Amino acid sequence: MDRLIKIKNKEDIFDVYKNTPISILLEYHNLGTPYEAVTSPQMLIGMCMDNRKYLHIPNNFAYIIRSGGGTLRFSEFKVSYSIAIGGIRTIALIAHNHCGMVNLMSKRDQFINGLVDIVGWEKQRAEDHFMNFAPMFEIDNEIVFVLEEAKRLRAKYPNILIAPLYYNVDDNFLYLVKED
């Protein structure tokens, strides 16, 4: 947790993000900055599909892609679209604590039984489904994952500002993640 910097005032924002959409996102969400009218998206936000996270941002402020764990690995066409067509130059990647994709393999039986009991699938179909997809979405550690995902996307999109962030579902604040 020593990598996490809670944003309690503008001075807490890293210099690299000052006067960028990352700073504006942090000011809206954490500092309660009053919304301004936004006519076009300022950034892309990649975050987990988890229902416990809600961002305090104005309408039209961001494209948002939600996926298990917040990975954008399987959404790269959408990322490219937001850049090439939407004019986006900034991406916020938001991991969070208590993520269901951490240690996903430990939820194997519950997942399979849920598909059998609720959906009516045959057990083998549910097992195959889990084993085909769980390895793509499982993450070991939320902070390590968001740092690796930022690094991966920076290599793919070198002219785009990419910030790894962390959402604490216990206090509903966004944190900056210190990188090496």
String of DSSP letters for 116-127: IIII---HHHHH
Residues 58 and 117 in one domain: no
Res 157: pLDDT: 98
Q: How many domains does the chain have?
A: 2
* Predicted local confidence at residue 68, as pLDDT: 87
Instruction: Please check whether residues 94 and 41 belong to one and the same domain.
Output: yes
**Mean pLDDT of successive 10-residue stretches along the chain, which has 180 residues:** 91 97 98 95 96 93 94 94 97 95 94 98 98 91 96 98 97 95
Q: Are residues 73 and 48 in the same domain?
A: yes
Burial 111-127 (b: 16+ CB within 10 A, else e): bbeebbeeeebeeeebb
Q: Are residues 159 and 92 in the same domain?
A: yes
**Residue 98 carries which side chain, given as an amino acid letter?**
H
Question: In angstroms, what is the C-alpha Rg of the chain?
Answer: 18
Q: What CATH number should be reported for the domain holding residue 50? A: 3.40.1050.10
- Same domain, yes or no, for 90 and 146? yes
Tell if the pTM clears 0.85, that is, is over it.
Answer: yes
DSSP 8-state secondary structure symbol assigned to residue 160: S
Tokens of 33: 């900055």
Token pair listed for 136? 């793509």
Are 26 and 56 in the same domain? yes
What pLDDT, on a 0 to 100 scale, did the predictor assign at position 170?
96
Q: What pLDDT, on a 0 to 100 scale, did the predictor assign at position 180? A: 82
Q: In what order do the strands lie in the sheet with 62-67?
A: 4-6, 173-177, 161-168, 90-96, 43-48, 62-67
**Which domain covers residue 115, as residue numbers?**
103-138
Residues 160 and 108 in one domain: no
Q: 15, 37, 169: which is closest to 98 by C-alpha?
A: 169
Do 94 and 62 belong to one domain?
yes
Whose structure tokens read 């991991």?
95
Same domain for 124 and 95, yes or no, is no
